[in-house]
Structure 1
Amino acid sequence: MKKVIFVLFCGIFTAFSTWAKTCTPADAKAADMAVDSLDTWMAVNQNRINYGHCDQGDIAEGNSEAIVHLLVDHWDSLADLKALLPKNPALKAYVFRHIDSTLDTKDLDTIQSQATHSCPSALSTLCDEIRRVALRAANE
């Protein structure tokens, strides 16, 4: 029982310390520069790990633009996103958070359409979730 409590405490402490990390000016500059290289889901995930604590304001908008670019222009890479999710469960929430109302409505419509009409059957659950998130963002 003591081991279970210790493991839970360590997990909570680790999660809190990651969440509470401060975005320094150097981190913000690096995060801002990294947005231009978010051209794969692996890069998005690495960016989330490295600079997730800086994900606000202009940096968050840049991350949203990069994620929508992957969804709109590289829909065929969706299987790559799906492959990353089991080992990176926070990635899904990160991606969904960036499908937001700051995006061009036309892009949100394209995402909804692709999720509805161009989804590989093996990705149907993920596509349905993406479609719902894009619809909610378009209606905000």
Structure 2
Amino acid sequence: MKAMDEASNLGTWSAVFESYKRYGQCDDGAIAEGYSASVADLLANHWADTSKLVTLANANPDFGRFVLKHVDESMSLDQGKSIRDSATNNCSAGARKLCRAILKRFMEFDAFDAPKK
């Protein structure tokens, strides 16, 4: 299935947004796991690109909620540490709302202390 193949191989926030528009209704099971992997990778390894995420999420609040849903316990410990550190210490003024929401997600599922991987 194209959605499954695509979901875990999204390298930019624009690509995540386009995939969300095409397949957001399929966000379950293996497809959801793929989206979570892409979101974790982008937040952990491409934090400098979060301004694009902020722009997309501000214009499309449902997309912002979609991304936050995929900040979840499936990420690795290293990804969790990187994301939490960036959201705490490297948050630009324009991204503060996003950073607070990301940190809140960590508290909701205790990802920083006990990720599954």
User: TM-score scaled to structure 2, two decimals?
Assistant: 0.86
Percent identity between matched residues is: 31
Amino acid at match of 1:41: W
- Which of 133, 136, 140 is the aligned partner of 2:105? 133
Q: Report which stretch shifted further, 45-54 or 33-42.
A: 33-42
**8 A Cα contact 1:112 1:135, kept in partner:** no
Indicate yes or no: 2:81 matched with 1:109. yes
Distance in 1 between the 2:49 and 2:106 partners? 18
After TM superposition, what 4+ stretches of structure 1 lie above 6 angstroms from structure 2? none
Where does the alignment leave 5 or more consecutive residues of structure 2 unmatched?
Answer: none
Amino acid at match of 1:32: M
Q: Report which stretch shifted further, 64-73 or 45-54.
A: 45-54
Q: CA deviation digits over 1:9-66, x for unaligned, max 9?
A: xxxxxxxxxxxxxxxxxxxx01012125411111111111111121111111111000
Secondary structure (helix, strand or coil) at the match of 2:75 reads coil
**8 A Cα contact 1:111 1:134, kept in partner:** no
- Which of 21, 26, 31 is the aligned partner of 1:54? 26
Secondary structure (helix, strand or coil) at the match of 1:78 reads helix
Distance in 2 between the 1:109 and 1:121 partners? 21
Amino acid at match of 2:50: L
1 or 2 for the larger relative contact order (CA 8 Å, sep ≥6)?
A: 2
The equivalent of 2:54 in structure 1 is: 82
Amino acid at match of 1:53: Q
Q: Report which stretch shifted further, 49-58 or 67-76.
A: 49-58
Larger C-alpha radius of gyration, 1 or 2? 1
- Which of 59, 63, 74 is the aligned partner of 2:35? 63
Distance in 2 between the 1:88 and 1:122 partners? 16
**8 A Cα contact 1:109 1:134, kept in partner:** no
Secondary structure (helix, strand or coil) at the match of 1:99 reads coil
Distance in 1 between the 2:17 and 2:93 partners? 24
Distance in 2 between the 1:50 and 1:98 partners? 17
Q: Report which stretch shifted further, 103-112 or 91-100.
A: 103-112
**8 A Cα contact 2:56 2:64, kept in partner:** no
Secondary structure (helix, strand or coil) at the match of 1:102 reads coil
Where does the alignment leave 5 or more consecutive residues of structure 1 unmatched?
Answer: 1-28
